[in-house]
Amino acid sequence: MKKEVIPPAQTFKEILEENKASIYRICSIYAVAPVEPQDLFQEVVYHLWKSLPSFQGKSKASTWAYRVALNVCYRAKLKFNRSNRQTIRLDAIQFVPSSSPPDHHQQEKHQALYECISSLKEADQSLIILYLEELSYREISQITGLTENHVAVKMKRIREKLFQCITRKLL
């Protein structure tokens, strides 16, 4: 694999700026009350800053940032779950409506999708989150440590589960 070296011009701020929206979406999905996405985002930023010197450049900076974000969010969720056995997942997701009037049917579809995602196993949730971020299977495999073929097989199964779940909810 080709080693990506962070050019001196690409500072921590630039890496964060390029990836902050995706990182925040991951934080929003993993956030559980009373942990707010903003708090989780700050924790991820701290860990990115702390681990920047150890970034070896074996992947893209964005891949590294996704991996750190998923690990931090997952650890925070596990810690919260240990202390609070009853947790409602994905309750922090909020859709910001566009300038057009809200489409009730579209909102219903989004709600069904996120309810179905929340019913998946934790590892499958991570995969679908990365997939919805429009990452390639290769990038997902680099972030998760799975082989590209394994990601493809798991994604096929996840999409089938989501399709069945959404179909039941929307019919």
Q: Is the pLDDT of residue 171 over 50?
A: yes
Give the pLDDT of residue 87. Answer: 43
Two tokens, residue 41: 């985002």
Mean pLDDT of 6-28: 79
Q: What phi and psi, each to the nearest 5 degrees, are found at residue 168?
A: -65, -40
Q: Which CATH number fits domain 1-94: 1.10.3720.10, 3.40.80.10, 3.40.50.720, 1.10.1740.10?
A: 1.10.1740.10
Amino acid found at 60: K
Chain segment 50-72, per-residue pLDDT in tens: 988 888 888 888 888 999 999 99
pLDDT grade, residue 155 (50/70/90)? very high
In this structure, what DSSP letter does residue 56 have? Answer: -
Please state, in angstroms and rounded to a whole number, the distance separating the CA atoms of residues 68 and 4: 17
Q: Is the pLDDT of residue 109 over 60?
A: yes
Residue ranges of the chain assigned to CATH 1.10.1740.10 = 1-94
Residue ranges of the chain assigned to CATH 1.10.10.10 = 100-171
CATH number of the domain located at residue range(s) 100-171 in this protein: 1.10.10.10
Per-residue b or e along 59-86, where b marks 16 or more CB atoms closer than 10 Å to that residue's CB: bebbbbbbbbbbebbbebbeebeeeeee
CB neighbours of residue 36 within 10 Å: 14
pLDDT top residue among 26 and 97: 26
pTM above 0.85, yes or no: no
Q: Where are the beta strands (DSSP E) in 2-113?
A: none
Angle subtended by helix axes 12-30 and 122-132, to nearest 10: 130
